Structure 1
Amino acid sequence: MTLARTFATAGRVLSQIRHDPRTIGLLVVVPSLLIGLVAWIFTDTAVFDSIGPAMIALFPFIVMFLVTSIATLRERRSGTLERLLSMPLGKGDFILGYALAFGLLAIVQTAVAVSFAVFVCGLEIDGSIWLLFGVAVSDALLGTSLGLLASAFARTEFQVVQFMPVLVFPQILLGGIFIPRSDLPDVLEAISEWLPLSFAIDALTAVANDSEDAAWIATKIAVIAAWIVGAIVIGSITLRRRTP
């Protein structure tokens, strides 16, 4: 695994996406539109201020998961991955290249989503806007890494969607969006404590309310980072050269 090959893979992916306006729109525009829709639904109420940070975690996470997993899977189904791996390109180079490319896109996506939520939708942030951005980026990267992991096991785009009830929906239901996690049954609360999206939602809410210090937020980001690294490592180990 070399940096040159990783960067070359990332550059190829970014070049492909640059010529795909629909994917760019899905990545950059759709999360902001969904956040705006939620804000519009709760106009003239204080609800959006309480759930807005969770929406910043939720929509970019889902979009990055879907786009990354399907894009990576198509490389394998089309035979591109097999041709690439016949060259001096390792699985680690491929996975890290994709992670780097979509990580850069995640930063752009997060910048647009956070700016839209705060400056257009009026989400009140009592803490640091930069810290909020940092947590949101880690959350989008989490969606990217889990998408890479799902693509390593899926054989078709439909199977990628089937992974959502396994990897995404439980995190949404148990992440504290609908009710505080402390109000969940004991078993579900214990499970939620191990889900990475819960850490992202907790951190974003804490930054928005300025209820925790930077060290507490950094701990949450570190846990999310550990999940990201773990998903990328497992994805690179289990990635198949081609789809049977």
Structure 2
Amino acid sequence: MTLSRTFTTAGRVLAQIRHDPRTIGLLVVVPSLLIGLVAWIFTDTDVFSGIGPAMIALFPFIVMFLVTSIATLRERRSGTLERLLSMPLGKGDFILGYALAFGLLAVVQTAVAVSFAVWVCGLEISGSIWLLFAVAVADALLGTALGLLASAFARTEFQVVQFMPVLVFPQILLGGIFIPRDQLPAVLEAISEWLPLSYAIDALQAVAADSESTAWVVGKLLVIGAWIVGSIVVGSITLRRRTP
């Protein structure tokens, strides 16, 4: 695994996406539109101020998971991955290149989503806006990493969608969006402690309310970072050259 091959892969992915306006719109525009829709629904209430941080975690996470997993799977199904791996390109170079490319897109996506939520939708942030941005970027990167992991096991785009009830929906239900996690049944609360999206939602809500210290938020970021690294490593190990 070399940095030059990783950067070359990332550049190739970004060049492909640059010529795909629909994917760019899905990545950059759709999360902000969904956040705006939620804010509009609760425009005459104070509900959005409570769930707004969770929406910043939720929509970019889902979008990055879907786009990353499907894009990576298509490389394998089209035979591109097999041709690339026949050259001096390792699985680690391929996965890291994709992670880097979509990581850069995640930063852009997060910047747009956070800016839209705060300055257009009026989400009040009592803590540091930069710390909020850092957590939101980590959350989007988490979606990217889990998407790469799912693509290593899926054979078709439909199977990628089938992974959502396994990898995504439980995290949404148990992440504290609908009910605080400490009010969940004991077994479900224990399960939620092992789900990375829970940490992103907790951290975003804490920053928005300025209810926890910076060290506490950084601790949550470290857990999310461990999930990101672990997902990328497992994805690179289990990645198949082509779909049978």
TM-score, normalized by length of structure 1?
1.00
Residue 82 of structure 1 aligns with an amino acid whose one-letter code is E
State the alpha-carbon separation in 1 of the partners of residues 193 and 241 from structure 2.
Answer: 35
Give the corresponding residue for 2:105: 105
Q: Deviations over 1:50-86 (max 9, x none)?
A: 0000000000000000000000000000000000000
Identity of aligned residues (%): 89
Residue 128 of structure 1 pairs with residue 128 of structure 2: yes
Give the corresponding residue for 1:177: 177
Give the corresponding residue for 2:226: 226
Between the two proteins, the alignment pairs up a number of residues equal to 244
Residue 4 of structure 1 aligns with an amino acid whose one-letter code is S
State the alpha-carbon separation in 1 of the partners of residues 180 and 228 from structure 2.
Answer: 25
State the alpha-carbon separation in 1 of the partners of residues 194 and 213 from structure 2.
Answer: 21
State the alpha-carbon separation in 1 of the partners of residues 57 and 197 from structure 2.
Answer: 8
* 1:201 to partner: Cα distance: 0.1
* 1:216 to partner: Cα distance: 0.2
RMSD of the alignment, in Å?
A: 0.2
SS at match of 1:211: coil
* 1:44 to partner: Cα distance: 1.5
Give the corresponding residue for 2:7: 7
SS at match of 2:65: helix
State the alpha-carbon separation in 1 of the partners of residues 241 and 202 from structure 2.
Answer: 38
Task: Identify unmatched segments of 5+ residues in structure 1.
Answer: none
Residue 103 of structure 1 aligns with an amino acid whose one-letter code is G
Task: Identify unmatched segments of 5+ residues in structure 2.
Answer: none
Residue 28 of structure 2 aligns with an amino acid whose one-letter code is V
TM-score, normalized by length of structure 2?
1.00
Residue 73 of structure 2 aligns with an amino acid whose one-letter code is L
Give the corresponding residue for 1:216: 216
SS at match of 1:208: helix
SS at match of 2:26: helix
Give the corresponding residue for 2:203: 203
Q: Deviations over 1:129-158 (max 9, x none)?
A: 000000000000000000000000000000
Give the corresponding residue for 2:36: 36
